[in-house]
Amino acid sequence: MPAQVPPQPPYPPAVAPQAPVPAPAQAPDPRVPAGVPAQGAAAQPAGTVPMCVACRAGRVGDDGTCENCGHAQPRERDHVEQESGPVAAVSDRGLRHHRNEDAFTVGHTVLPDGSPAAVAIVCDGVSSATRPDDASLAASRAAGESLLAALARGTHPRQAMHDAIVAASHAVNALADEPATAREQAPHQNAPACTLVGAVVVSGLLVVGWVGDSRAYWVPADRGAPAARLTEDDSWAAQMVAAGLMSEAEAYADERAHAITGWLGADAYELDPHTAAFEPDAPGVVVVCTDGLWNYAESAGEMAQVVPLDAAVNPLHSARVLVGHALDGGGHDNVTVALVPFPLPPQGAGSV
């Protein structure tokens, strides 16, 4: 594991998010045959009636299914990709869920001293809660806004990560008071909620932050060196292991393993943002992901085996490979992964 920086004193209140982060660009859904519009109704010419992407004959109803064959149409967030400077991310609905409840933000900026900084935020909506897809999207956007703005002002990356998690929490909490939540919320159903994990890379420093069971991994460029998990789950399984009541293998084999004990949302017991800082002494890549990926590569060693060797220089392709790994494994959940290289390439190098 890269050398960890000792914790700093408690942080002051979070700063308000500033400059907005552009929404992720969309990419073709790999499940749709070539030549067929990947975004269903959104891909139709203006003013036309949406047609089914499967049978190409039926009209698409208000419920998003074909009136002829009943095929559910691809949604805007079924498959999303984005590349921003040296960092990239891919999110996919998976093969079993009817919608994608994950979301991400990636971005890069310049610090006041002129050095580069790269950011990745990944969120996973809590499916048992109301509007989980809206929760993850609100959290990822709020955290990304806050983080990029704070870094550009010169805020220390660990402070900026803490503030970003608080901003994300406020954004998710606000959803609980919206009329849409009242309309959709079933009796005894929780308010909108999600997990969050993020990473910031600046010169010589890697900072991660999280709430929930989404994870960050360190994968060194030299695969002979050990990989490491940089986050600790807020989950039932992690609590059992920490208390010495079960081995990790026993805990994660239990049906209660993925019950989370920390999340963002109005029903959360308390907000406890976790942050950690590391100073890697060798190059590598940070994998920021939801459990839709790490369920198929749980240990750091397993994750290192599936991350392409060129991930630091080809992050978008490598993120696609990792999503493909999860889909090939069964795709039982939404899957989202972002890749951030360490160290960052010199400004002007790499993809734009």
pLDDT given at position 6: 65
- Torsion angle, CA of 161/275/197/22, rounded to 10 degrees? 10
pLDDT given at position 232: 95
169 and 250, same domain (yes or no): yes
15 and 66, same domain (yes or no): no
Q: Name the domain boundary from 17, 47, 73.
A: 73
Q: Name the domain boundary from 11, 43, 73.
A: 73
* Pairwise CA distance, residues 245 & 128, whole Å: 27
pLDDT tens by residue, 284-307: 999 999 999 999 999 999 999 999
In a domain, 109, yes or no: yes
Q: Cα–Cα distances in Å, from 333 out to 59, 93, 128, 131, 286?
A: 29, 7, 14, 17, 22
Q: Cα–Cα distances in Å, from 307 out to 30, 119, 126, 192, 294?
A: 20, 19, 26, 32, 12
**Domain enclosing residue 19, as ranges:** 3-29+77-342
The three-state secondary structure class of 184 is: helix
In a domain, 264, yes or no: yes
Provide the CATH number for the domain around residue 310.
3.60.40.10
In the beta sheet, which residues pair with residue 200? 119, 207
190 and 57, same domain (yes or no): no
Domain count across the chain: 2
60 and 153, same domain (yes or no): no
| Phi, psi for residue 241 in degrees, rounded to 5 | -65, -45
pLDDT given at position 257: 87
* Pairwise CA distance, residues 249 & 214, whole Å: 18
241 and 328, same domain (yes or no): yes
52 and 163, same domain (yes or no): no
43 and 141, same domain (yes or no): no
158 and 187, same domain (yes or no): yes
In a domain, 348, yes or no: no
In the chain, which residues have pLDDT < 50? 9-46, 350-352
In a domain, 254, yes or no: yes
pLDDT given at position 131: 95
In a domain, 180, yes or no: yes
pLDDT tens by residue, 151-162: 999 999 999 999
Helix or strand holding residue 167 (H, E): helix 157-175
165 and 290, same domain (yes or no): yes
Mention every residue, 6+ apart, whose C-beta is less than 8 A from residue 274: 209, 210, 211, 231, 232, 234
Cβ atoms 45, 174 nearer than 8 A: no
- The DSSP output letter for 40 is G
In a domain, 350, yes or no: no
pLDDT given at position 264: 98
Q: Cα–Cα distances in Å, from 89 out to 16, 49, 59, 212, 327?
A: 25, 32, 33, 20, 16
pLDDT given at position 65: 83
69 and 108, same domain (yes or no): no
Using alpha carbons, select from 160, 193, 174 the residue that is nearest to residue 268.
193
pLDDT given at position 258: 82
Q: Name the domain boundary from 42, 73, 104.
A: 73
60 and 126, same domain (yes or no): no
236 and 292, same domain (yes or no): yes
* Pairwise CA distance, residues 4 & 231, whole Å: 12
* Pairwise CA distance, residues 209 & 182, whole Å: 31
pLDDT given at position 14: 37
| Burial class of 33 by CB neighbour count within 10 A (0 to 12, 13 to 18, 19+) | exposed
Single-letter code of the amino acid located at 142: A
Cβ atoms 160, 231 nearer than 8 A: no
pLDDT given at position 343: 96
